[in-house]
Structure 1
Amino acid sequence: MAIKSQGTTVHISNEDADATAYGSATFAKVGEVDNVGEPSGEAADIDVTHLESEAKEYLIGLPDNGNIAISGNFVPDDTGQLELRDAKDVQERRWLKITWSSGDVWYIKALVKKYAASAAVDGKTPFSSSFRTSGAWGYA
């Protein structure tokens, strides 16, 4: 059965994920997120074709969990958005945690590659952030 997107939350750890286990980390909720993108990565193909092959043969390589992006309403004093900015500036891996409306949790180490806000006439002020994931997804 499908679940609704409404109620999904994103959190970022306050600590360096390389120095703090996921279960010991403290998190800041990123406020007013309106979009969580799909991770872009995929595993590489390893060509194992040989001269006796009847067609191309492959193994699958290590998973590359790629990049993921979020966006929302820019809130200058939001603790989570400030943590995104700080993590980008110090270039530390942080724990990124997505809690779906079903209660399922996905988490992974990630580098914050981008945190930016923009403005336009007759528009809201949005933010966008992108992450480079590092390692495997965890599920709780």
Structure 2
Amino acid sequence: MDMKLEVVVLPVSDVDAAKLFYEQAGFRLDIDYVAGDAFRVVQFTPPGSGCSVTLGKGITSAAPGSAQGLHLVVTDIEAARSELVGRGVEVGEVFHDAGGVFHHAGGKGQVPGPAPDRASYGSFAEFSDPDGNGWILQEITERLPGR
């Protein structure tokens, strides 16, 4: 049976500020539904993604900014970073991990620049929304078998 990740809920403190941020980042607005003062659902889909993000009011008890490690896969890390920066999003510099497998939390083991030989899965850049929900661009040019 297939199981596809469809939606990730992002906890935010200011729905309008978050909506503006994700519009600015180039995410497609799918819905902005309001039902009274206590309930609002705003859904965005990143360009080319099959999974959307939902934010709003009255939809999660998680602390604003507590979603971390949300990966956006791109085929060209430098072009993706440049596009976001051009849209006014603050994106950290491209880095790779000293161990070469994945990235450590909190910046530990980060080496400036893309992975040696631009190895697929090895280059990253980070940015956050206004509440601190953490996003990571990851460059994948060739998928592992079976993916």
TM-score between the two structures when normalised by the length of structure 1: 0.29
Bigger helix fraction: 2
Larger relative CO (CA 8 A, sep 6+): 1 or 2? 1
**Larger strand percent:** 1
